Structure 1
Amino acid sequence: MSDLRAVLFDLDGVLTPTAEVHMRAWERLFAPYAQAHGLEPYTASDYFAHIDGKPRYDGVATFLASRGVDLPRGTAADAPGEDTVCALGNRKDEIVNRMFDQEGIDPYPGSVRFLDAVTAAGAHVAVVSSSRNTPAVLAAAGLAHRFEVVVDGNVAAREHIAGKPAPDTYVRAAELLGVPVAQAVVVEDAISGVQAGAAGGFGLVLGVDRGVGADALRAHGADRVVADLGELDAAVLTRRDGGAA
């Protein structure tokens, strides 16, 4: 089998610890909102119970429902504010993008070392993420110039591409790089992401265990699992044995 020629990286949890920034942004949105409206205070447990893993507007609606608040849904075009679910969601987007711009975000050092290794070996690289904040995150992390192709939530919406666990966004990234899926590596930390890699027939699916669990990642499609990408080098482009690191 020919060598692997491309590495397709998920963003949140693979290249950057973005979830921590999003958690703080939700707190900055809902802590003052709850206080201003006489609601039960917002706590970190609300993030995991009502917001984590959901599309932004659904997270807003679920949190509000937990406090007995029923706002109109509105539309994605609503100005950031408090009149609709979408307006609140857009306010959160405004907050998190300001945080990325003002505070920045440090990428995982091990991920940068792995990125350096595979690009030095001649591999094409892309980012594949469901987040619409991907351009802001990559810029804040100082990584925007490192990737030839970015397929994010904005691209998926514009081109009507199905999201993970469907393989379509990863397939699209490989197409844009001009590399067959069988010669591309998918790097993911989420179950839905390794499922996408397995479903797409990619040459190698690397799981990064940031808390999901190595066994769960393998069970859903990862060929190999590491705790940090710094454990790997460009040898993954030629080795096909998979297995646990």
Structure 2
Amino acid sequence: MLGLPDHVGSCLFDLDGVLTNTATVHAAAWKEMFDEFLENWASRSGDPFVPFDLDHDYGEHVDGRPRVDGVRAFLDSRHIRLPEGTADDPPSALTIHALANRKNYLVQQRIQADGVEVYPGSVAYLQEVVARGIPRAVVSASANCRAVLRAVDLERFMDAIIDGTVAEHDHLAGKPAPDTFLAGARALGVTPERAAVFEDALAGVEAGRAGGFGFVVGVDRVGSGHAEALRAYGADVVVRDLSELREAAARGRGQA
């Protein structure tokens, strides 16, 4: 029992925060990178140093978005203007791309040092999806998506992977635009209304709703009002873990 409506016959999973606990790794890397930058910016500009706020800034501006888009969105919120730069900028440079590269460097360091944790409830849910022969894909903004899936032995379960590398190659707009989820549906050969989106990020839930997907599952790993925000951005249902969908279905409230 999967807890999905009858009209849904495929699944599109975000990675970070839905299948793996790398969302906390990403959040810590964003904070480390931005706090270092903001301290340096304050000393240059004379503005007060206001740290990156994990409770607000992370969810509102960067979570679920491509790295460069996240940098732009956060800097815009602080009215800070930097040169765009290029993807080859060193992490030490003072450009938007350099900050994005610095964040990616910090994430890779943390993953190498600490490994990757998977959510057991999500793995059990995914295994049942596979056992039922339901088409499934991962749709993630992360360019490290495939490496993470391999590290936790989940790549073999996926029929398609739409990640940051694919998005860049195919010129797909990042979340909250629906383009990457729509690409995932195309890769599975299904229409959006026949697919369920599983997302923990506000930008991802917004993308699922904007794409006209048949069911949007918000995953609340944060608390502190995040469930309400997920619903406001378009989630049909919000759970703390995907195991709750299976439990609800087993109690007769689900439909598939």
* Category of TM-score, reference length = shorter chain: 0.7 to 0.9
Match of 2:29 among 19, 25, 32: 25
Secondary structure, in 3 states, of the residue corresponding to 2:117?
A: coil
- One-letter amino acid matched to 1:127: V
Q: CA RMSD in A?
A: 3.9
Secondary structure, in 3 states, of the residue corresponding to 1:225?
A: strand
What per-residue deviation string (whole Å, max 9, x for no partner) do you get for residues 149-189 of structure 1? 11122222221223323322212111111122222111112
Matched, 1:220 2:205: no
Secondary structure, in 3 states, of the residue corresponding to 1:150?
A: strand
- One-letter amino acid matched to 1:13: G
Match of 1:206 among 217, 222, 225: 217
CA separation in 2, counterparts of 1:155 and 1:146?
Answer: 19
Match of 1:11 among 9, 15, 29: 15
What per-residue deviation string (whole Å, max 9, x for no partner) do you get for residues 98-130 of structure 1? 332342110111111111111111111111122
**TM-aligned CA distance change 1:42 to 1:176, over 3 Å:** same
Match of 1:196 among 189, 207, 217: 207
CA separation in 2, counterparts of 1:32 and 1:198?
Answer: 35
Matched, 1:232 2:245: yes
- One-letter amino acid matched to 1:25: A
Matched, 1:53 2:61: yes
TM-score normalised by structure 2 residue count: 0.72
CA separation in 2, counterparts of 1:59 and 1:165?
Answer: 11
Matched, 1:75 2:86: yes
Structure 1 window deviating more from structure 2 (124-133 vs 214-223): it is 214-223
Structure with larger RCO (C-alpha < 8 A, sep 6+): 2
Secondary structure, in 3 states, of the residue corresponding to 2:205?
A: helix
**TM-aligned CA distance change 1:142 to 1:31, over 3 Å:** farther
Tell me how far 1:8 sits from its aligned partner.
Answer: 0.5
Tell me how far 1:18 sits from its aligned partner.
Answer: 1.9
| Conservation of the 8 A alpha-carbon contact between 1:105 and 1:141 | yes
Matched, 1:123 2:127: no
CA separation in 2, counterparts of 1:60 and 1:219?
Answer: 24
Tell me how far 1:75 sits from its aligned partner.
Answer: 1.3
Structure 2 stretches lacking a partner, 5+ long? none
- One-letter amino acid matched to 1:110: G
| Conservation of the 8 A alpha-carbon contact between 1:101 and 1:136 | no
Matched, 1:166 2:177: yes
- One-letter amino acid matched to 1:53: H
| Conservation of the 8 A alpha-carbon contact between 2:216 and 2:234 | yes
| Conservation of the 8 A alpha-carbon contact between 1:14 and 1:189 | yes
Secondary structure, in 3 states, of the residue corresponding to 2:61?
A: coil
Name 2:190's counterpart in structure 1.
179
Structure 1 stretches lacking a partner, 5+ long? none
Identical pairs, percent: 47
Tell me how far 1:44 sits from its aligned partner.
Answer: 6.5
CA separation in 2, counterparts of 1:109 and 1:76?
Answer: 36
TM-score normalised by structure 1 residue count: 0.75
Q: How many residues align?
A: 240
**TM-aligned CA distance change 1:210 to 1:26, over 3 Å:** closer
**TM-aligned CA distance change 1:81 to 1:51, over 3 Å:** farther
| Conservation of the 8 A alpha-carbon contact between 1:165 and 1:196 | yes
- One-letter amino acid matched to 1:141: V
Structure 1 window deviating more from structure 2 (178-187 vs 88-97): it is 88-97
